Structure 1
Amino acid sequence: MTLNRKHALLSSSSAHRWLECTPSARLEDQYPDTAGESAREGTFAHKLAELELEHYLKTIGDMKYHTAVAALKNGKSPLGDFYTKDMESYVGEYVDLVIQKYEEAREKDAEAALLLEQRLDFSDWVPEGFGRGDAIVIADGTLEVIDLKYGRNTPVGAAHNPQIRLYGLGAYNEFGAIYDIDTVCLTIMQPRNGGESSESLAIADLLAWADSIRPIAQAAFKGQGELKPGPHCQFCRASVRCRALAEYQLELARYDFRDADQLSDNEMADVLGRADDLVRWANKIKDYALMEVVEHGRQWPGWKLVEGRSTRKISEPEQAAVVLTTQYGHSEEDIYRPRELKTLTQLEKVIGKKELADELGGLLIKPPGKPTLVPESDPRPVFNTAADDFDVI
């Protein structure tokens, strides 16, 4: 029996995972899909972008548009209260890109089409596979899928990206019989981390890739294959109970906690490359274990739930100030802190990141960051240490 899912079992957003670890999709299906704060913020940003583009296309009336946008800005939308001037600016970059690509397409082809929030079916290659395309531009033999990524922590590129390739397949599957399409352009816009990224593929190449993943998708749908731990496990809901991942993470114990100067350079590099993943995994285990006890009454052998440490605080600051000043004669200098400037994050939320930078000009500086070790694939330039400078002298 097929479940009535809001999201496909083999979702496009998790394709990078089930293509590597085919049993993961069925394992994840046993755990609730609880969207985090960043996911809800992304949904909010997508809705704002959709409204802006609908207004541009005049598929939504002025009154309905202004009412909906006002609800988002005033925190009265069921999507939450995530609006900031920065979000408006970042979403504007995506909206401008979509409009630019559509208008360029119309210059070449008067019949060019811009479609928003299209349900895309790629189940010919991935069992029950479907997704939703943010924006699709079709013109002059080319179909372009444009996907907004509002996240800022991890850069997402379009090259060899299975999620947007699946969107491209779904779009071609939907419109290939109507339009004469020979090229698919796959574009990701991540305004907070990297901007625009694109990959163009001939239809034959996209279909060849689709045929290559079909047997993998079929195995993933059946939950077959070997568990394969790796970086793709980071957001897997099953990672907290996955034995293969636990064994992979705990391989670090083979070093037997020897002193660092007894490890070879290669062993040190191995630990450096896996330490962050190990910490993230351990923290997910702790969070999951606590949630199971608090929400479901589960008991873990050898562990119990207690009240954590707490910090004292004043419940009614204004009332406390009245008591201290009027009843006990303390001066305002005794009980109030000196006025201080809000943090940069707080100021940017009120004023806007770009606007604040323009208004402060040279007063806004960025001191050198603290040296940190990263893989060689990281695009940042090598940091010159004091020892390096001395060698040059």
Structure 2
Amino acid sequence: MAEVRLEGVTKMYGEQKVVNGFELSVAEGEFIVLLGPSGCGKSTTLRMVAGLEAVSSGKVVIGDTDVTQTSPATRNVGMVFQNYALFPHMTAFENLAFGLRARRLPKAQVNERVAEVARMLELESVLRVRPKNLSGGQRQRVALGRALIRKPAVFLMDEPLSNLDANLRDRVRMELASLHRRLAITTLYVTHDQGEAMTLADRVVVMNAGVIHQVGTPADIYEEPADTFVAHFIGSPGMNLWKVDVSAGTRGVADSLDLMVDTEFWPHSSGSENEIVVGVRPEHLELAEFVEVPGVRAAMEVELVERFGSHQLVHGKLVGVGYPIIARMPAEVEVEIGTLQVVAADVRRVHLFTGSSGERLGRKMSMYETVNESEIYGSVDGSRGGR
């Protein structure tokens, strides 16, 4: 195992900057997932750690060694590629043994190491089989085994499950999690799949356009997104985000949308900062009658209902402003297309971001135990009591 540090790492392709000032420290034995949309620079970052891409500026350190200018062969990393990269004319045994034989290890030692990895990955019964006759899951395990057999200090995985069907991907993901718990090898894993990131990672690095937007545990990035990009990217569907003008410094008003804004959040400034972005996850929106202390309440016109058996996604638009809105509701709630539904979110479930930069405004909204709700909320059409 080894610590990995990327210090101000930048990658240029001509005039295009695909990774920009990447800073990350990975502890020994930690499982880090680089997550982001296609083209965000995550695979390029991984390949720079492996030495397969040159660093334009900055430094890559593995353990106590600056490896920025060293060859891939000297970095003691094991890499698993998206397409497995197995030799088609070799059996599973020969694929596993290839790297050890290239290093001229004794035959007995090669056989012992292959047998050890085959036991670990449940490949003993297919060691004499060529890749074309293996299942997708078996090919993936051979690829993992070929990287593991070298006993690397760092394990690098570039979307290793993307070629598997959904059921097999879930199973291999659980196998990966179990394998990491047993071996505790420092791991950097690239994916655009949130399910993989949230279930495998000790910490997630959310990237976009070559820049890190947030680094944190899966719970951190879900519960406390750093900005509107993370808020909308994380979650399926992503967070509802609505721009709201703030009046009187303590309230936001946008026709059918009501909310209270704790003044400690508010950066009392002028211009564009008189606008904030309010965020609520679809699963935190309920029918208003069931929410005791609403931080946001809104009327939505239902345009589409997706039913999934255990739940339903209700798509619509906010009355008066036309903003899109998605609410995740229990399957037993009766919702029909074309109807008007009043939904709300508990004040503790509301997120606030600046209107200009999209950065998070402090913590979530606090409970207003001393506030008289009738003085804040009026009718659905936007009228207020107590004014």
TM-score calculated relative to the size of structure 1: 0.24
Structure of higher RCO (CA pairs closer than 8 Å, 6+ residues apart) = 1
Q: Which has the higher strand share?
A: 2
**Greater helix share, 1 or 2?**
1
